[in-house]
């Protein structure tokens, strides 16, 4: 039987000429042009440089094993993982990724264990250090641009990205959606979780001084492409996708702790209540309190989803289908 690695490798193509690749332990070689892509600790390097901003910057790895979630506590944990953790985005993936299906995780950082267990997962990233972590759980890990995917046409069930969209310029976003549509099989889905330019009490306050807003909310994380949620839906429709589900998150003052961390970076030096909230947020992020608070905020957001406004959201999760 073909292993998941063999299956993933059979889908990979030379990004220069789209021909198939010949595999040896140290490199993948194009069968048509002379390109040779080195393999380093399981990472196939389609780019021969490292990115100054992103190399080693994000290394989050999400662990959860559905098979070991047994008994009442296990079932409860499982429910929370799919419905509340990560804004419920992995539950959205579970709806559209068949057992044994193929998923591409764009901007994957350290990866998500459940994707590797559910099916054949391919991670795409700029950071080699992050990809080396993802290589422990994914069938293939590629150092490649999300705008030039070395993956063949109509070959995968789901294209997933979490907190990548807001890091991309408008031109890159269009290229990414074109590449997503190209590699998805007809009827395949894309699931996108991202930060958005929300219009709510907190973000209006955050934006009252554009220079300070930029310091905490844009420059700190490279959020060069923050846009309202409705703009993401427009872009998806323009690229030929049908919107299936939208989750609006952080539409009120109840936001994830990271928002209050960014607010602190912007205004904490001069506004005392902002610093106090920032310190509380930092404490939550560093302690066990962070997770239950994030889950509670998500539960609240989900409860008010029928009445909350898309462009009030500071975060969204969108599922869209390629026709």
Ligand X SMILES: C[S@@+](CC[C@H](N)C(=O)[O-])C[C@H]1O[C@@H](n2cnc3c(N)ncnc32)[C@H](O)[C@@H]1O
- Positions touching ligand X (CB under 6 A) are 54, 58, 60, 107-109, 124-127, 130, 145-146, 162-164, 167
Tell me how far the alpha carbon of residue 162 is from its chain's centroid: 1
Q: Does 28 bind Zn ion (CB under 5 A)?
A: no
Residue 253 binds which entry of ligand X, Zn ion, none, CB below 5-8 Å type-dependent: none
Q: Which of 16, 78, 83, 230 binds Zn ion (CB under 5 A)?
A: 16
DSSP 22-88: EEETTEEEESSSS-EEEEETTEEESSSS--TTTTTT---EE---STT--HHHHHHHHHHHHHTGGGG
Residue 35 binds which entry of Zn ion, ligand X, none, CB below 5-8 Å type-dependent: Zn ion
Residue 127 binds which entry of Zn ion, ligand X, none, CB below 5-8 Å type-dependent: ligand X
Q: Which is nearer to ligand X, 102 or 167 (CB)?
A: 167
d(CA 71, CA 47): 46
Q: Which of 7, 23, 27, 35 binds Zn ion (CB under 5 A)?
A: 35
Q: Does 172 bind Zn ion (CB under 5 A)?
A: no
Q: Which is nearer to Zn ion, 17 or 76 (CB)?
A: 17
Residue 269: CB atoms within 10 Å: 10
Q: Say if residues 204 and 179 touch (Cβ distance below 8 Å).
A: no
Least spacing, CB of residue 161 vs ligand X, in Å: 7
Assign 316 to helix, strand or coil: strand
Residue 30 binds which entry of Zn ion, ligand X, none, CB below 5-8 Å type-dependent: Zn ion
Residue 17 binds which entry of ligand X, Zn ion, none, CB below 5-8 Å type-dependent: Zn ion
Residue 16 binds which entry of Zn ion, ligand X, none, CB below 5-8 Å type-dependent: Zn ion
Q: Does 27 bind Zn ion (CB under 5 A)?
A: no
Q: Which of 12, 14, 131, 149 binds Zn ion (CB under 5 A)?
A: 14
Q: Which is nearer to ligand X, 192 or 310 (CB)?
A: 192
Q: Does 20 bind Zn ion (CB under 5 A)?
A: no
The residue of the chain with the least Cβ separation from ligand X equals 107
Residue 191, strand partner residues: 160, 319
- E-strand stretches of 107-172: 111-112, 120-125, 140-143, 156-162
Return the C-alpha torsion angle 285, 291, 295, 298, nearest 10.
30
Return the H-helix or E-strand segment holding 317: strand 315-322
Residue 308, strand partner residues: none
**Choices 35-43, 168-176, 241-249, 274-282 (CB under 5 A): range interacting with Zn ion:** 35-43
Least spacing, CB of residue 195 vs ligand X, in Å: 9
Q: Does 30 bind Zn ion (CB under 5 A)?
A: yes
**Choices 26-34, 68-76, 102-110, 114-122 (CB under 5 A): range interacting with Zn ion:** 26-34
d(CA 168, CA 112): 22
Scanning the chain, the segments in alpha helix (DSSP H) are: 4-10, 71-83, 89-96, 113-118, 128-134, 170-183, 201-206, 210-213, 229-238, 257-267, 272-286, 290-304
Residues making contact with Zn ion (CB under 5 A): 14, 16-17, 19, 30, 32-33, 35
């Amino acid at each position: 039987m073909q292993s998941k690695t063999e299956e993933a490798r059979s889908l990979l193509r030379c990004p220069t000429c789209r021909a198939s690749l010949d595999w040896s332990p140290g490199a993948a070689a194009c069968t048509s042009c002379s390109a040779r892509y080195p393999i380093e600790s399981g990472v196939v390097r389609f780019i021969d440089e490292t990115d100054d901003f992103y190399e080693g910057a994000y290394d989050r790895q999400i662990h959860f094993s559905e098979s070991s979630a047994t008994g009442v506590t296990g079932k409860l944990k499982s429910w929370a993982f799919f419905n509340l953790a990560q804004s419920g985005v992995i539950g959205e993936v579970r709806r559209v990724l068949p057992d044994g299906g193929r998923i591409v995780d764009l901007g994957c950082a350290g990866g998500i264990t459940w994707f590797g267990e559910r099916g054949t997962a391919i991670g795409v990233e700029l950071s080699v250090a992050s990809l080396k972590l993802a290589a422990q759980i994914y069938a293939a890990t590629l150092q490649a641009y999300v705008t030039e995917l070395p993956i063949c046409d109509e070959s995968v069930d789901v294209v997933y990205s979490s907190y990548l969209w807001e890091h991309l310029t408008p031109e890159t976003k269009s290229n990414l959606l074109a590449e997503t549509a190209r590699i998805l099989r007809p009827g395949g889905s894309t699931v996108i979780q991202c930060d958005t330019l929300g219009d709510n009490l907190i973000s209006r306050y955050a934006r009252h001084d554009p220079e300070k807003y930029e310091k905490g909310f844009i420059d700190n994380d490279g959020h060069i492409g923050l846009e309202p949620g409705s703009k993401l839906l427009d872009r998806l429709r323009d690229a030929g996708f049908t919107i299936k589900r939208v989750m609006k998150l952080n539409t009120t003052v109840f936001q994830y702790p990271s928002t209050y961390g960014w607010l602190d970076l912007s205004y904490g030096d001069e506004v005392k209540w902002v610093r106090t909230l920032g310190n509380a947020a930092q404490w939550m992020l560093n302690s066990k309190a962070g997770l239950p608070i994030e889950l509670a905020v998500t539960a609240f957001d989900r409860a008010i989803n029928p009445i909350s406004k898309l462009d009030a959201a500071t975060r969204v999760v969108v599922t869209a289908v390629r026709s």
